[in-house]
Amino acid sequence: MSDHIYIDALELRCVIGVHAHERVAPRTLLCDVQLACDTRAAAASDRLEHTLDYDAIAQRLRALAASMQPALLETLAERIAELLQREYGARWLRLRLDKPGAVAGTRGVGIVIERGLRVPA
Protein backbone atom coordinates (compact mmCIF):
# COMPACT_ATOMS: atom_id res chain seq x y z
CA MET A 1 0.00 0.00 0.00
CA SER A 2 1.23 3.47 -0.81
CA ASP A 3 -0.93 6.45 0.11
CA HIS A 4 0.06 10.04 -0.53
CA ILE A 5 -1.25 13.43 0.46
CA TYR A 6 -0.39 16.06 -2.13
CA ILE A 7 -0.44 19.81 -2.52
CA ASP A 8 -0.23 21.09 -6.10
CA ALA A 9 0.98 24.55 -7.17
CA LEU A 10 1.05 26.09 -3.69
CA GLU A 11 2.07 29.73 -4.06
CA LEU A 12 5.00 30.67 -1.84
CA ARG A 13 6.30 34.24 -1.59
CA CYS A 14 9.89 35.01 -0.72
CA VAL A 15 12.92 36.99 -1.74
CA ILE A 16 15.06 34.47 -3.60
CA GLY A 17 17.83 34.61 -6.16
CA VAL A 18 21.50 35.28 -6.72
CA HIS A 19 21.13 38.40 -8.87
CA ALA A 20 20.70 41.89 -7.40
CA HIS A 21 17.39 42.46 -9.21
CA GLU A 22 16.00 39.29 -7.58
CA ARG A 23 16.83 40.55 -4.08
CA VAL A 24 14.61 43.66 -4.30
CA ALA A 25 11.16 42.22 -3.63
CA PRO A 26 9.46 38.89 -2.91
CA ARG A 27 8.47 36.75 -5.86
CA THR A 28 5.99 33.92 -6.22
CA LEU A 29 7.26 30.36 -6.39
CA LEU A 30 5.09 27.32 -7.07
CA CYS A 31 5.48 24.32 -4.81
CA ASP A 32 4.22 20.78 -5.39
CA VAL A 33 4.52 18.34 -2.49
CA GLN A 34 3.72 14.63 -2.16
CA LEU A 35 3.92 13.06 1.31
CA ALA A 36 3.68 9.34 1.96
CA CYS A 37 1.27 8.49 4.75
CA ASP A 38 -1.18 5.81 5.81
CA THR A 39 -4.69 7.17 5.27
CA ARG A 40 -6.58 4.13 6.57
CA ALA A 41 -7.13 5.50 10.10
CA ALA A 42 -8.51 8.76 8.71
CA ALA A 43 -10.76 6.89 6.30
CA ALA A 44 -12.11 4.73 9.12
CA SER A 45 -12.65 7.58 11.59
CA ASP A 46 -13.41 10.43 9.17
CA ARG A 47 -11.39 12.66 11.52
CA LEU A 48 -8.78 15.20 10.45
CA GLU A 49 -6.45 14.45 13.36
CA HIS A 50 -5.88 10.97 11.90
CA THR A 51 -4.27 12.28 8.73
CA LEU A 52 -1.99 15.02 7.45
CA ASP A 53 -3.77 18.38 7.39
CA TYR A 54 -2.80 19.83 4.01
CA ASP A 55 -4.20 23.26 4.92
CA ALA A 56 -1.97 23.41 8.01
CA ILE A 57 0.99 22.18 5.94
CA ALA A 58 0.34 24.84 3.28
CA GLN A 59 0.20 27.59 5.90
CA ARG A 60 3.41 26.34 7.51
CA LEU A 61 5.25 26.22 4.17
CA ARG A 62 4.10 29.75 3.31
CA ALA A 63 5.36 31.01 6.67
CA LEU A 64 8.71 29.26 6.25
CA ALA A 65 9.25 30.65 2.75
CA ALA A 66 8.29 34.18 3.82
CA SER A 67 10.81 34.02 6.69
CA MET A 68 13.73 33.13 4.41
CA GLN A 69 15.75 34.99 1.80
CA PRO A 70 17.82 32.23 0.22
CA ALA A 71 19.98 32.65 -2.84
CA LEU A 72 19.12 29.20 -4.20
CA LEU A 73 15.98 27.13 -4.72
CA GLU A 74 18.03 24.19 -3.47
CA THR A 75 18.32 25.83 -0.05
CA LEU A 76 14.60 26.52 0.25
CA ALA A 77 13.74 23.02 -0.99
CA GLU A 78 15.98 21.40 1.61
CA ARG A 79 14.54 23.54 4.45
CA ILE A 80 11.00 22.61 3.36
CA ALA A 81 11.89 18.91 3.24
CA GLU A 82 13.48 19.09 6.70
CA LEU A 83 10.37 20.81 8.10
CA LEU A 84 8.04 18.21 6.58
CA GLN A 85 10.07 15.36 8.01
CA ARG A 86 10.50 16.96 11.43
CA GLU A 87 7.05 18.46 12.01
CA TYR A 88 4.82 16.08 10.05
CA GLY A 89 6.76 12.83 10.26
CA ALA A 90 7.04 12.43 6.49
CA ARG A 91 8.80 9.12 5.85
CA TRP A 92 9.02 9.90 2.13
CA LEU A 93 8.37 13.08 0.21
CA ARG A 94 8.76 14.52 -3.24
CA LEU A 95 9.03 18.29 -3.54
CA ARG A 96 9.02 20.39 -6.69
CA LEU A 97 9.82 24.12 -6.59
CA ASP A 98 9.18 26.17 -9.71
CA LYS A 99 10.50 29.70 -10.23
CA PRO A 100 8.26 31.09 -13.00
CA GLY A 101 9.79 33.79 -15.16
CA ALA A 102 13.33 33.22 -13.92
CA VAL A 103 14.66 32.36 -17.39
CA ALA A 104 13.30 34.11 -20.47
CA GLY A 105 11.56 31.85 -22.95
CA THR A 106 10.56 29.25 -20.35
CA ARG A 107 7.39 28.62 -18.38
CA GLY A 108 9.59 28.05 -15.35
CA VAL A 109 12.73 26.51 -13.96
CA GLY A 110 13.21 24.71 -10.71
CA ILE A 111 14.20 21.71 -8.69
CA VAL A 112 12.68 18.37 -7.73
CA ILE A 113 13.94 16.52 -4.65
CA GLU A 114 12.94 13.29 -2.92
CA ARG A 115 13.75 12.54 0.69
CA GLY A 116 13.23 9.41 2.74
CA LEU A 117 12.50 5.85 1.76
CA ARG A 118 9.63 5.09 -0.56
CA VAL A 119 8.27 2.06 1.25
CA PRO A 120 4.72 0.92 1.86
CA ALA A 121 2.98 2.79 4.68
12 is known as an active-site residue:
no
Assess contact for 33 and 95: CB atoms under 8 A. Answer: yes
Nearest of 88, 39, 37, 36 to residue 59 by alpha carbon: 88
Catalytic residue among 99, 101, 103, 111: 99
Question: Which residue type, as a one-letter code, is found at position 79?
Answer: R
Residue of 116, 109, 121 whose CA lies nearest to 29: 109
What is residue 81's three-state secondary structure?
A: helix
CB atoms within 10 A of CB 52: 20
Instruction: State the catalytic residues.
Output: 99
